[in-house]
């Protein structure tokens, strides 16, 4: 089980005098998540805070059958979509770990191409107390693209980011 960021902060002790509120109808917040990688070549376990994760999804192609003057549709092959994750470029060396992973797929200094996939990438959804409420796991993940954000003096208040485009074989969602 990976270590979650919430365990790195001290808990707030507010006492028991606060009223109990119902939270069963609350929605999952789009800004409360973590990204966990398992089986990344050279890093094995990697937990990173991400700034943005594009929608994770899969669609099923149609098989169209014509009979006389009618059309019928049947489900065909599933097609997982690419996922783009934007990470903050941290001083801890996260960008080098991500780039090293990308180099296991395509190393431009030697021209070698390999198939070093990660076993799993999980986007963990958290509630207001940073407890896990759901997750979407992608299996057979490999980096398809890696790029740094632009360097620009006019964006002095922005953090530098690393953007990775990932491809995966299949995904599973759990609430």
In tens, the pLDDT along 72-115 reads: 999 999 999 999 999 887 777 777 888 888 888 888 888 888 87
Tokens 């959804």 belong to which residue? 125
Residue with the larger pLDDT of the pair 21 and 81: 81
- Give me the pLDDT at residue 9, please: 47
The pLDDT-based confidence of 44 (bands split at 50, 70, 90) is: confident
Q: Is the pLDDT of residue 63 over 80?
A: yes
At 152 the pLDDT is: 80
| pLDDT for res 6 | 53
Tell me the backbone φ, ψ of residue 84, rounded to 5 degrees.
-115, 125
The pLDDT tens digits of the residues spanning 124-155 come to 988 878 888 899 999 999 999 998 888 888 77
Strands 50-53 and 70-80: unpaired
Q: Of all residues in the chain, what percent carry a pLDDT higher than 70?
A: 83
Q: What is the DSSP string of 55-82?
A: PP-EEEEEEEEEETTEEEEEEEEEEEPP
Q: According to the model, what pLDDT value does residue 19 have?
A: 52
Q: How far apart are CA 42 and CA 168, in angstroms?
A: 19
């Amino acid at each position: 089980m990976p270590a979650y960021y919430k365990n790195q902060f001290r808990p707030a002790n507010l006492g028991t005098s606060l009223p109990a509120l119902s939270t069963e109808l609350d929605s999952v917040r789009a800004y409360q998540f973590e990204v966990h990688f398992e089986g990344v070549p050279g890093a094995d376990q990697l937990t990173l805070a991400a700034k943005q994760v594009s929608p994770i999804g899969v669609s099923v192609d149609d098989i169209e059958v014509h009979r006389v003057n009618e059309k019928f549709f049947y489900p065909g092959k599933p097609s997982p979509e690419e996922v783009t994750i934007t990470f903050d470029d941290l001083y801890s060396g996260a960008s080098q770990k991500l780039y090293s992973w990308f180099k296991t797929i395509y190393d431009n200094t030697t021209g070698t191409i390999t198939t070093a996939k990660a076993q799993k990438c999980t986007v963990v959804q958290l509630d207001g107390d940073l407890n896990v409420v759901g997750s979407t796991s992608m299996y057979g993940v490999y980096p398809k693209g890696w790029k740094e954000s632009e360097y620009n003096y006019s964006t002095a208040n922005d953090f530098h980011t690393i953007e990775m485009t990932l491809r995966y074989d299949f995904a599973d969602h759990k609430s």
